[in-house]
């Protein structure tokens, strides 16, 4: 996720509870994935868990990006309508 997108997410979180929930979950998953990345070797079960966390994290990013894309479209429409 690019910094500009992250900044927009943080700006919208106070007024968008769904986005805030997704971002909070994203940060939690990020920490859990980082725990796995500290180890050079781990069990197949741990590897599977790490992959599941990464998939869940990616799904959350997709959901957040959909919300901010919708926000940008609405903002653009307001600009176009003001002309």
d(CA 58, CA 69): 16
How confident is the prediction along the chain (83 residues), in pLDDT tens digits per residue?
A: 789 999 999 999 999 999 999 999 999 999 999 988 887 777 888 889 999 999 999 999 999 999 999 999 998 988 888 77
What pLDDT, on a 0 to 100 scale, did the predictor assign at position 13?
96
Residue 32: other Cβ atoms inside 10 A? 15
Dihedral class, residue 44 (left if φ above 0, else alpha if ψ from -120 to 50, else beta):
alpha
Distance CA 29, CA 24 (A): 9
Quote the crossing angle between the two packed helices 17-37 and 44-81, to the nearest 10°: 150
Question: pTM of this prediction?
Answer: 0.83
């Amino acid at each position: 996720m690019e910094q500009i997108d992250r900044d927009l997410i943080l700006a919208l979180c106070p007024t968008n509870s769904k986005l805030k929930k997704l971002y909070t979950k994203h940060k939690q998953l990020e920490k859990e994935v980082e725990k796995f990345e500290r180890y050079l070797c781990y069990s197949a079960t741990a590897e599977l868990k790490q992959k599941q966390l990464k998939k869940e994290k990616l799904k959350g990013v997709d959901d957040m990006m959909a919300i901010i894309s919708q926000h940008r479209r609405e903002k653009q429409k307001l600009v176009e309508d003001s002309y």
